[in-house]
């Protein structure tokens, strides 16, 4: 057989075990993101006295009317993503992991939720940013970062990491799960800004904190990454 007629060699594929923990680069990036978010919060408290131009522009862009269909969607997301709703979703996902005999997956989900809350509340206490005026939904506490966005990201990314580490879920389904996770995070961020309870930078910081919490929690429970396995 001529060399050109030979079948291409199969590409190396990672085993599920090798995919179960985020790579060191992702963990390092998560830690850097947390530090940057904290530093930006300190900057807002001690140096920046006004609102950022991108925040006011975005608030005007996503403005909705009370009683509209978009308002109903935004309120629904706000209610689902509040403290009780986010905790219930994390508990359900963790319970499902335990039922499927994947206890470390379940533990990483709960750890991500708890770690995200701790980091978010710490940055809120540091920053003490005032919420926007003209709120369409009752909210309390400091504005930066957005707890709803953090919770949505921590849960969504935890789901993606569980799916990536499962040998029962093929690559196509993992792609759909990832797309749904991105959509969920973006929808929650839109909801918080459309209801004028957070600035855009609040939601970006919250989402990044949630992502970082999910990655760090996953790394804590699954340890160093395994070496890739070549399947023939």
Render pLDDT for 177-186 as a digit per residue (tens, 0 to 9): 999 999 999 9
Residue 154 has pLDDT above 90, yes or no: yes
What pLDDT sits at residue 13? 55
Name the residue among 74, 138, 109, 135 with its Cα closest to residue 215: 109
Residue 85 has pLDDT above 90, yes or no: no
Report residue 230's pLDDT band, with 50, 70 and 90 as the boundaries.
Answer: very low
Name the residue among 22, 169, 183 with its Cα closest to residue 108: 22
Instruction: Provide CB contacts within 8 A for 172, sequence distance 6+.
Output: none
Q: What percent of the chain has pLDDT over 90?
A: 73
Angle at 193 (CA atoms; ends 187, 195), nearest 5 degrees? 100
What pLDDT sits at residue 228? 44
Which stretches of the chain are assigned E, i.e. beta strand? Answer: none
What pLDDT sits at residue 14? 58
Report residue 204's pLDDT band, with 50, 70 and 90 as the boundaries.
Answer: very high
For residue 145, the 8-state DSSP code is S
Average pLDDT, the chain: 89
Q: Give CA 180 to chain center in angstroms.
A: 12
What pLDDT sits at residue 17? 61
DSSP string, 182-217: HHHHHHHHHHHHHTTSS-HHHHHHHHHHHHHHHHHH
Which pair of structure tokens corresponds to residue 17? 């075990």
What pLDDT sits at residue 57? 96
Helices (H), ranges, the chain: 16-19, 24-46, 53-61, 69-80, 83-99, 103-127, 147-164, 171-194, 200-222
What pLDDT sits at residue 84? 87
Report residue 167's pLDDT band, with 50, 70 and 90 as the boundaries.
Answer: confident
Q: What percent of the chain has pLDDT over 70?
A: 88
Of the two residues 156 and 4, the one the predictor is more confident about is 156
């Amino acid at each position: 057989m001529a060399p050109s007629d030979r079948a291409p060699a199969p590409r190396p594929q990672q085993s599920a075990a090798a995919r179960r923990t985020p790579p060191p680069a992702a963990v390092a990036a998560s830690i850097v993101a947390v530090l940057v978010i904290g530093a930006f919060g300190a900057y807002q408290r001690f140096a920046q006295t006004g609102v950022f131009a991108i925040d006011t522009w975005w608030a005007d862009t996503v403005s909705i009317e009370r009683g509209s269909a978009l308002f109903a969607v935004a309120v629904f997301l706000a209610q689902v993503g509040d403290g009780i709703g986010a905790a219930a979703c994390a508990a359900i996902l963790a319970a499902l992991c335990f039922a499927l005999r994947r206890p470390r997956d379940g533990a990483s989900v709960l750890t991500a939720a708890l770690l995200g809350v701790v980091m978010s509340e710490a940055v809120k206490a540091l920053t003490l940013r005032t919420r926007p005026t003209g709120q369409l939904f009752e909210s309390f506490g400091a504005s930066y970062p957005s707890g709803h966005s953090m919770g949505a990201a921590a849960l969504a990314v935890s789901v993606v990491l569980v799916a990536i580490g499962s040998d029962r879920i093929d690559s196509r389904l993992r792609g759909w799960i990832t797309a749904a996770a991105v959509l969920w995070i973006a929808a929650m961020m839109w909801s918080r800004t459309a209801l004028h309870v957070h600035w855009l930078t609040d939601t970006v910081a919250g989402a990044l904190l949630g992502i970082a919490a999910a990655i760090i929690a996953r790394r804590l429970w699954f340890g160093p990454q395994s070496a890739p396995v070549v399947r023939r």
